[in-house]
């Protein structure tokens, strides 16, 4: 079967619904994944979906393909991604698929594919699935699989809530932006004894208020307004499938998620000094500074939930986190990204310390940091642009500490660290765009770096400034 190879990314599969993906292509993916599982003597899988408009159609098509390969399926229905991971443990199966495009716009869809407990595909496995679809070399099963439907909500609520104890209550604003997490998180927060004010709770896969992306300054700005208007202690936003989080403190400050990586690291290192903490290349220098100050070992790694999870497992880290809002707790949880648990862990730590989030942040080193800026660039152009840009970048900053593929095998960009901040360019694993971020310890240097980044990007005709995937462009003006 012919299929766009560019939607088979380094750890997920994502493309435009009705263009890159349709029911026939998704059914072929189901056959490919079923073949993948049967080769490994796995005969059962859990399958769920987020609220995207094509989600149910694609889930049914995917399951048809898997059933034809003899895979027994536990249909989880519409859930958050972390509930799919949880269900692997609940039903004791290595197989699992979540039909989701996470933070991509509503006209996208995709698949997070399990290959073990909490473990998802990386590049080699994704390319194996692509080859199977292209060659149609399916497993020859002598029987059809079966389907049973299960509602894991209550089991999940019990599991996530048993892991935390709040010593005080909070007034919280929660905004899922019409994503999948609305009803689940409202129930969890209420059961935790939290006074919660919900915004944009109606689940609507067309995302009428815009793409639910907690790295988008527009999304977080609206959350900030709600927190201030309600005089809340804290505000939380989530992405479309609920595994990523964004936070605003009670003073209305938007805390980009690398600050939360540092906060979680501090909390864990108070209990487990000397632990390893994984963070991705887009994170501020505040992360290694806080980790080292707290007696931990910071390890920078390439961006992507699958890569961070693998690195945590490889080195035995207690925690890992990304600027995007994926947080991985390996001290008292399963080690996969779970936005629900991350929210509860923030509240638990604040209740234990009896402080507000702004007070906690005030003790950290200060950086002026841009948000995560996403600029359009075609999938067949973005790697070449970033590779060329990296050469210029390293030539312009010969004294900087450079992190690229020579430091992290397979890294998708280049980062320069200075005594007073950093600059990073990388191509996305999730779509046709380039990601940029920069920071400094003073405004003048920050402004200089902003001009440098903008002029560098403007020098490439393949960079697309107006596109549905462009986010936080205002940060370059």
**Which domains are delineated in the chain?**
5-151 (3.40.120.10), 155-251 (3.40.120.10), 257-362 (3.40.120.10), 368-476 (3.30.310.50)
Q: Within 13 Å, how many C-alpha atoms sit on residue 399's CB side?
A: 3
Considering 102, 284, 340, 390, which one is annotated as catalytic? 102
Average pLDDT, the chain: 96
On the question of pLDDT at 120 being above 90, the answer is: yes
**CB contact set of 192 (below 8 Å; sequence gap of 6+):** 161, 164, 166, 344, 347
Question: The tokens 């699992």 sit on which residue?
Answer: 96
Question: What is the DSSP annotation of 178-215?
Answer: T-TTHHHHHHHHHHTT-EEEESS-S--TT-TT----TT
Percent of the chain with pLDDT over 70: 100
Q: Is the pLDDT of residue 454 over 90?
A: yes
What mean pLDDT is predicted for residues 259-279? 97
Share of the chain above pLDDT 90, in %: 95
Cβ(192)–Cβ(86) below 8 Å: no
Average pLDDT over residues 392-400: 93
**What's the pLDDT score for residue 12?**
94
pLDDT of 65 over the 90 cut:
yes
Query: In DSSP terms, which residues pair with 111 in a beta bridge?
Result: 13, 99
Residue 344 burial by CB count (10 A; 0-12/13-18/19+): exposed, middle or buried?
buried
Distance of CA 184 to the CA centre of its chain: 18
* 207 φ/ψ sector (left φ>0, alpha ψ -120 to 50, else beta): left
**Which single residue is written with the structure tokens 């505000």?**
235
pLDDT band at 431 (very low <50, low <70, confident <90, very high): confident
Note the pLDDT tens digit of each residue in 338-355: 999 999 999 999 999 999
- Does 446 have pLDDT greater than 90? yes
Q: What is the mean pLDDT of residues 80-96?
A: 98
pLDDT at 346: 97
Take residue 466 and report the two structure tokens written for it: 């107006």
Q: In sequence order, which ranges of 40-121 are alpha helices (DSSP H)? A: 55-68, 81-90
State the pLDDT confidence band at 272, using cuts at 50, 70 and 90.
very high
DSSP 8-class letter at 399 = T
Per the annotation, the verdict on 102 as an active-site residue is yes
What was the pLDDT predicted at 430? 80
Reduced to 3 states (helix: H, G, I; strand: E, B; else coil), residue 92 is coil
Report pLDDT for 424: 96
Q: Which two tokens stand for residue 73?
A: 């399926």
Token pair, residue 240, equals 């479309």
Q: What is the pLDDT of residues 216-231, one digit of tens each?
A: 999 999 999 999 999 9
Instruction: Give the residue-averaged pLDDT of 243-254.
Output: 96
Q: What band does 107 get if pLDDT is binned at 50, 70 and 90?
A: very high
Q: Model confidence over 176-215: pLDDT tens digits?
A: 999 999 999 999 999 999 999 999 999 999 999 999 999 9
Section 41-48 average pLDDT: 98
pLDDT for res 307:
92
Residue 22 · residue 58 · CB < 8 Å: no
pLDDT tens per residue, range 55-64: 999 999 999 9
315 pLDDT more than 90: yes
pLDDT at residue 429 greater than cutoff 90: no
pLDDT at residue 10 in the model: 86
63 Cβ contact list (under 8 Å, min separation 6): 30, 47, 73, 75, 147
């Amino acid at each position: 079967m012919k299929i766009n190879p560019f939607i088979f990314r380094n750890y997920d599969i994502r493309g435009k619904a009705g263009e890159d993906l349709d029911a026939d292509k998704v059914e072929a993916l189901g056959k490919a994944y079923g073949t993948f599982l049967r080769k490994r003597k796995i005969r059962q899988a859990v399958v769920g979906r987020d609220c995207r408009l094509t989600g149910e159609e694609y889930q049914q098509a995917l399951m048809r393909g898997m059933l034809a390969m003899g895979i027994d399926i536990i249909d989880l229905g519409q859930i958050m991604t972390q509930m799919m991971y949880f269900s692997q443990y609940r039903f004791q199966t290595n197989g699992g698929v979540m039909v989701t495009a996470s933070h991509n716009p509503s006209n996208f869809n995709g698949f997070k594919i399990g290959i073990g407990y909490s473990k998802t595909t990386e590049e080699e496995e994704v390319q194996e699935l692509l080859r199977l679809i292209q060659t149609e070399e399916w497993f020859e099963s002598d029987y059809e699989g079966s389907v049973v439907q299960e509602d894991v909500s209550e089991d999940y609520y019990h599991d996530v809530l048993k892991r935390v104890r709040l010593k005080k209550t909070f007034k919280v604003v929660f905004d899922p932006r019409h994503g999948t997490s609305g009803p689940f998180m409202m129930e969890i927060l209420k059961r935790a004894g939290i006074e919660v004010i919900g915004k944009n709770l109606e689940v609507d896969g067309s995302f009428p208020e815009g793409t639910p992306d907690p790295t988008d300054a527009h999304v977080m700005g609206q959350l900030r307004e709600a927190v201030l208007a309600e005089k809340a202690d804290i505000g939380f936003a989530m992405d479309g499938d609920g595994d990523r989080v964004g936070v605003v403190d009670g003073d209305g400050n938007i805390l980009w998620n690398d600050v939360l990586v540092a906060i979680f690291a501090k909390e864990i290192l108070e209990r487990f000094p000397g632990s390893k903490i994984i963070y991705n290349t887009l994170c501020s220098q505040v992360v290694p500074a806080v980790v080292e100050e707290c007696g931990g070992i910071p390890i920078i790694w390439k961006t992507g939930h699958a890569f961070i999870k693998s690195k945590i497992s490889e080195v035995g880290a207690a925690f890992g986190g990304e600027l995007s809002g994926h947080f991985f707790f390996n001290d008292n949880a399963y080690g996969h990204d779970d936005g629900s648990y991350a929210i509860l862990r923030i509240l638990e730590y604040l209740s234990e310390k009896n402080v507000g989030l702004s007070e906690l942040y005030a003790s950290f080193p200060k950086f002026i940091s841009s948000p995560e800026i996403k600029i359009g660039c075609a999938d067949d152009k973005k790697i070449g642009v970033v590779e060329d840009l990296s050469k210029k970048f390293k030539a312009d900053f010969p004294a900087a500490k450079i992190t690229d593929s020579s430091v992290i095998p397979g890294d998708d960009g280049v980062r320069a660290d200075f005594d007073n901040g950093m600059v990073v360019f990388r191509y996305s694993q999730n779509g046709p765009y380039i990601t940029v971020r920069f920071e400094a310890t003073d405004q003048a240097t920050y402004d200089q770096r902003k001009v440098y980044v903008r002029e560098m990007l403007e020098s490439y005709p393949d960079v697309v400034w107006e596109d549905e995937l462009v986010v936080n462009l205002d940060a370059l003006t």
